[in-house]
Structure 1
Amino acid sequence: MVKHVLHRDASIDVLRIVAIVAIVVGHVWFEPPVRLATYTWHVPIFFVLSGYLASSLGFGELVRRRGQSLLLPYLAWLVIIAAILVGFDDPLRLLAGGAQLPRELNAFWFVTAFFVAIVAAAAIERLRLGWQWLIAAGLLTAAYLTSEVIALVPLDAGVGLACVVFVVAGRTLRDMQSRIGHPATTGAAMLAVSAALIVSGASGPLDLKHGDFGTPVVSVVTAMLISGGLILVVGELLAGIDGRAGEFISRLSLCGFMVVLTHSAVLFVMREAGVHEWGSFGVALVGPWLLAMLLLFTPLSLALCGVPRRAVAPRAAEKPAPHGIGPPRHSFSSD
């Protein structure tokens, strides 16, 4: 089998890793301070990153590859976890997604919503950016008006369509970045404004799984500011990462999707066994990540991790390629 060599931006991989850790934190501790610190950005940042990273894939090829990297592991782990913990007494419920899924699968909603958002955003990406914003704003407005039922749409397609606005925000940052003279300073200012909005109570946390987009408009803007601010700051701070450190970070990032899919099941088992919160957090985070690191080198890598078995050759971080130019690099995996 021929191995593919993948060049990755270590700063983007660091952001993915941090966001995945924040997702697990949010599923272990439910206190208001934790929700305020994580829920506004830890999921939206993946949508923003998918727009920020340039892709040369055509629409059909994008759908095929995202189907492989997202939906194949989704189905594989759905079957595995259901067989071990849930059962198949109500298969339609398992396929419904989102708020309809059992507790052990409560992170699975993200996968189909993410897939829908990527595909929908790709369908409009050749339009002028202003038209993309208009369409995305319309989809988000529809979500606000139907907030009580949006999470009930099968496979979380409704939430995914509303999240196109985050993808468009990522594209906008990519197009504007060359005109930002001091990225780290600008990013820090964006984070400071976001913190002020959250601490003051002007911006409430989002809970996208349930179709809750927080304080109308303000929470979505805050999520964009945090995501964009982190991209700018971390991109500047980690611009020189290369070599073994970069390789290790890249491999951790490649394994992160499996952590997203499996950590809820591990947390369920830990809670049933009476394990303390910190112990549950450690096992749910480290266990799946270590297993994924091993699976990355096996034929099961694509089915369980969403990544074809390959060698990773990191390089120093770089600015995103102009729209439609350069290697296709999307959240979780790159093909």
Structure 2
Amino acid sequence: MYTEINKVGEIMRKRVMWIDIARGIAMLSMIVGHSLFQYTFSGVGRYIYAVHMPLFFILSGYLYREKTYEKELKGAAKNLLLPYFATSLVMIAVFFVAQLKSPWLVQNYPASFDDLLSAVFYGIGVGSKVPFPTYVYPIGALWFLMAMMIALQIFNLIIVLTKGMTNKRFVRLFVISIFAVLGKITASVWLLPLSFNAALFALVFLYVGYLMREENVLEHISHIMVIVGLLAWIIAASNQMFQLAMVEAPDALLSVIGAVGGTLVVVKFSQWIAKVGTVAKMLGRVGQFSIIVLCFHNVDLTFSMVPTMIMSSSFTQNVILKIVIINLYRLIIPVLALVLIPRIPGVRSLYLNRQYPFLKRKPDLVVKKKTN
């Protein structure tokens, strides 16, 4: 019996490791995707955007467990909204520092403090598309936290309401497909607040991950599945650019197929990497603290002038070399945050509330009955 328990524990540790590695790969890919400049819509950009954000939703669906509405909302508030607004406060602080005319920081972006507040509370990742005469600044990569929060609430509601149905898989697929289509169609004329469009479309990826867990797919990815997944990824990325933040893809079905195929490839690669000591540890740490990397990359992405200074410099005319240097620079602030924040009491609870809650749970009291 103890041998079986140890084996189960070992499997779970390996599972967690490859999930963290896959998240780490996706997060580093996101940083690269944000630092390609004129090559954003190139082949490299299309391959990255085809899978890096969908992978997070697929893995979240894979790890999903049914909860009460209250528990799901409470968990999302602590683990997604808390870092969202904590980072927003950091961005507000940097915004005011930038007004001191620092050459290292973007000035007058957003144009005013009110515009920055609007960006925080509207919560979209790209320039506004709204049916009224105003402009809402994007909050940047933080859109993902809002979209994940909304998507998990809707997804949990669907799972709970349909759990007693005999044909629940079909009903869930039908309802989620309707929501995804609504998210896609609406995004063409109006990017709704809180990245609602992306959240509706991302329900598809959550459900894919959920089904993969039910069928134990990711634990047993065959070589044939990797080949088919790679082909799907190649076909999707070769034919279109998929941007989940604005739900923009000429062929939505192809974007889903490509994202699922790419996820299979990345996960299989992550499972292989998990066996390679130091590399696995580094990527696993990035994945484990991916929310910190995301948040502080967003601060750098929004306000740093360094990438623009590198691109405009004359030390070399090789644009690709400049982009490589920019990508190396883009790692500095997220990595520093990754190292420091887990070590700072209070601050770490804002970003890693699951591991470091503000209030520790009281241990259950075991009352022993006296025996006569």
Which TM-score bucket, shorter chain as reference? Answer: 0.7 to 0.9
SS in 2 for 1:89: helix
After superposition, the C-alpha distances for 1:116-159 in whole angstroms (9 at most, x for unaligned) are 11111111124222221111110111123223234x21111222
Match for residue 201 of structure 2? 162
Q: 2:227 aligns with which of 165, 189, 201?
A: 189
Match for residue 27 of structure 2? 20
Structure 1 residue ranges without an equivalent (≥5): 1-5, 311-335
Match for residue 315 of structure 2? none
The alpha carbon displacement at 1:239 in A equals 6.2
The reply on whether 1:76 has 2:116 as its aligned counterpart is no
Mapped to 1, the partners of 2:123 and 2:64 lie a distance apart of 29
Match for residue 139 of structure 1? 179
1:96-245 mapped onto 2 (5 Å cutoff): 96-98=122-124, 99=126, 100=128, 102=137, 105-126=139-160, 127=162, 128-150=168-190, 152-177=191-216, 183-198=221-236, 201=239, 204-231=240-267, 233-234=268-269, 236-237=271-272
The count of aligned residue pairs is: 298
Structure 2 residue ranges without an equivalent (≥5): 1-11, 96-109, 129-135, 163-167, 312-321, 358-372
Q: 2:329 aligns with which of 278, 283, 289?
A: 283
After superposition, the C-alpha distances for 1:94-127 in whole angstroms (9 at most, x for unaligned) are 3111134646x41121110111111111111242
CA 1:153–1:12: 2 relative to 1, 3 Å: same
1:306-325 mapped onto 2 (5 Å cutoff): 307-309=354-356
The alpha carbon displacement at 1:254 in A equals 2.5
SS in 2 for 1:177: coil
The alpha carbon displacement at 1:27 in A equals 0.6
After superposition, the C-alpha distances for 1:175-218 in whole angstroms (9 at most, x for unaligned) are 1226x9962314312323214413652xx221122221441311
CA 1:224–1:246: 2 relative to 1, 3 Å: closer
CA 1:308–1:96: 2 relative to 1, 3 Å: same
Mapped to 1, the partners of 2:330 and 2:54 lie a distance apart of 22
| Identity, % of aligned positions | 21
The alpha carbon displacement at 1:256 in A equals 1.6
Match for residue 298 of structure 1? 344
Q: Which moved more, 1:141-150 or 1:44-53?
A: 141-150
Q: Residue 123 of structure 2 contacts residue 143 of structure 2 at CA under 8 Å; is this kept in 1?
A: yes
Q: Residue 173 of structure 1 contacts residue 228 of structure 1 at CA under 8 Å; is this kept in 2?
A: no
The reply on whether 1:93 has 2:119 as its aligned counterpart is yes
Q: Residue 10 of structure 1 contacts residue 238 of structure 1 at CA under 8 Å; is this kept in 2?
A: no
SS in 2 for 1:107: helix
Mapped to 2, the partners of 1:256 and 1:70 lie a distance apart of 12
The alpha carbon displacement at 1:238 in A equals 5.1
Q: Residue 296 of structure 1 contacts residue 307 of structure 1 at CA under 8 Å; is this kept in 2?
A: no
SS in 2 for 1:42: helix
Q: Residue 129 of structure 1 contacts residue 172 of structure 1 at CA under 8 Å; is this kept in 2?
A: no
Mapped to 2, the partners of 1:213 and 1:302 lie a distance apart of 37
The reply on whether 1:261 has 2:295 as its aligned counterpart is yes
Mapped to 2, the partners of 1:55 and 1:140 lie a distance apart of 21
Q: Which moved more, 1:297-306 or 1:215-224?
A: 297-306
CA 1:26–1:264: 2 relative to 1, 3 Å: same
Mapped to 2, the partners of 1:304 and 1:182 lie a distance apart of 32
User: Which entry has the higher C-alpha Rg, 1 or 2?
Assistant: 2
CA 1:144–1:124: 2 relative to 1, 3 Å: same
Mapped to 2, the partners of 1:118 and 1:181 lie a distance apart of 23
Q: Residue 10 of structure 1 contacts residue 249 of structure 1 at CA under 8 Å; is this kept in 2?
A: no
1:242-253 mapped onto 2 (5 Å cutoff): 249-253=283-287
The alpha carbon displacement at 1:236 in A equals 4.6
Q: Residue 301 of structure 1 contacts residue 307 of structure 1 at CA under 8 Å; is this kept in 2?
A: no
CA 1:214–1:206: 2 relative to 1, 3 Å: farther
Mapped to 2, the partners of 1:289 and 1:173 lie a distance apart of 32
Q: Residue 41 of structure 1 contacts residue 226 of structure 1 at CA under 8 Å; is this kept in 2?
A: yes
Q: Residue 262 of structure 1 contacts residue 288 of structure 1 at CA under 8 Å; is this kept in 2?
A: yes
CA RMSD of aligned residues (A): 2.9
CA 1:241–1:69: 2 relative to 1, 3 Å: farther
Q: Which moved more, 1:66-75 or 1:267-276?
A: 267-276
SS in 1 for 2:355: coil
Q: Residue 230 of structure 2 contacts residue 261 of structure 2 at CA under 8 Å; is this kept in 1?
A: no
The reply on whether 1:50 has 2:60 as its aligned counterpart is yes
Mapped to 1, the partners of 2:219 and 2:35 lie a distance apart of 40
The alpha carbon displacement at 1:245 in A equals 7.3
Mapped to 1, the partners of 2:326 and 2:279 lie a distance apart of 28
